[in-house]
Amino acid sequence: MANINCSKIEEAVRLILEAIGEDVNREGLIETPKRVAKMYEEMFSGLTIDPKEYFDTIFSEDHEELVLVKDIPFYSMCEHHLVPFYGTAHVAYIPRDGRVAGLSKLARAVEAVSRRPQLQERITSIVADTIMETLEPHGVMVVVEAEHMCMTMRGVKKNGTKTITSAVRGVLEKDSNAHSEVLSYINN
């Protein structure tokens, strides 16, 4: 797993500031390299976390119907431009043999995966695959909606544009009624 090297980040930020013509000794910028390094340490903390660890504790419950945690807020950094993207994730699964996880574990898995230089598509797939591997449910659906600053601040400059990705596994992929049911709950 990765270790964050704050001194390298600080030096890199100084170089970037110099490269854009800024005075790195200006009052407002003197501590900026240190602040950015500390921010990156927090924002990229998911590099050292395997989301599977959140599913080490599994409960046995007589429940084999839909479990959905929706509107989980997250933020991440686009690996192409190192600018933020943020939005909400919706995580659904149908337990098998009563194997359920604590509800907060679904949100923690989303957070761990999103706190890396990342692509939205990858967040969606990793969360779905992690749940399939650890809980072994009948099915999983993960839907992620996000606004990407690389589309808002630069390039096409389309503020408010949302990207939606989904990863569907097991019975939720094969059974169109179950698939539609999950989407109806997400959209309510």
Choice among 11, 80, 121, 133 that is catalytic: 80
Residue 6 annotated to the active site: no
How far is it, in rounded angstroms, from Cα 89 to Cα 142? 7
Choice among 64, 150, 173, 181 that is catalytic: 150
How far is it, in rounded angstroms, from Cα 67 to Cα 59? 14
Residue 179 annotated to the active site: no
Choice among 10, 111, 118, 148 that is catalytic: 148
Distances (CA, A) of 173 to 18, 97, 117, 136: 51, 19, 28, 15
Choice among 10, 78, 111, 118 that is catalytic: 78
Residue 173 annotated to the active site: no
Q: Which secondary structure element, helix H or strand E, spans residue 99, and what is its range?
A: strand 99-100
How far is it, in rounded angstroms, from Cα 141 to Cα 126? 12
Choice among 6, 41, 81, 145 that is catalytic: 81
Choice among 90, 120, 138, 179 that is catalytic: 120
Choice among 11, 18, 79, 121 that is catalytic: 79
Residue 78 annotated to the active site: yes
Residue 80 annotated to the active site: yes
Catalytic residues: 78-81, 120, 148, 150
